[in-house]
């Protein structure tokens, strides 16, 4: 299998930093897949500047990177290998966290 979970992130800012770090080490944007049930800016994101930055980061992530909306239908449609890879992260996905997958082929 050419894909693996790089990390699980609680918010947009953490996800954005991880994506930038991966791109900085040579990964292509099409090889980075974000899976989440909700990519949202929380009201408790910090001060107004932090919130505005999170809104910009969310917009960039949604525009540039392949986003997969996690649901039971999405999960059931995956290959057995991909299901096995994501199974340990199901509770994270159901809680609205972002799972960042690195895939050499860019598919999942």
Token pair 């392949």 in the structure block, residue: 66
Place 88 in a pLDDT band, splitting at 50, 70 and 90.
Answer: very high
Phi-psi region of 65 (alpha: psi -120 to 50; beta: other; left: phi over 0): beta
Q: How much is the pTM?
A: 0.81
As a whole number of Å, the CA-based R_g of the chain is 14
pLDDT tens for each residue of 74-86: 888 999 999 999 9
Contacts of 68 (CB under 8 A, 6+ apart): 33, 34, 35, 36, 74, 108
Domain boundaries, the chain: 3-103
Contacts of 17 (CB under 8 A, 6+ apart): none
pLDDT of residue 51: 77
């Amino acid at each position: 299998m050419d894909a693996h979970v790089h990390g699980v992130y609680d918010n947009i800012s953490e996800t954005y930093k991880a994506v930038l770090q991966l791109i900085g080490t040579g990964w292509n944007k099409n090889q980075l897949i974000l899976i989440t049930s909700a990519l949202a800016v929380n009201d408790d994101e910090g001060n107004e500047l932090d919130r505005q930055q999170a809104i910009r980061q969310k917009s960039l992530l949604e525009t540039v990177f392949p986003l997969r909306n996690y649901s039971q239908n999405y999960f059931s449609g995956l290959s057995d290998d991909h299901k096995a890879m994501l199974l340990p992260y199901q509770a994270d996905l159901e809680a609205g966290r972002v799972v960042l997958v690195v895939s050499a082929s860019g598919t999942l």
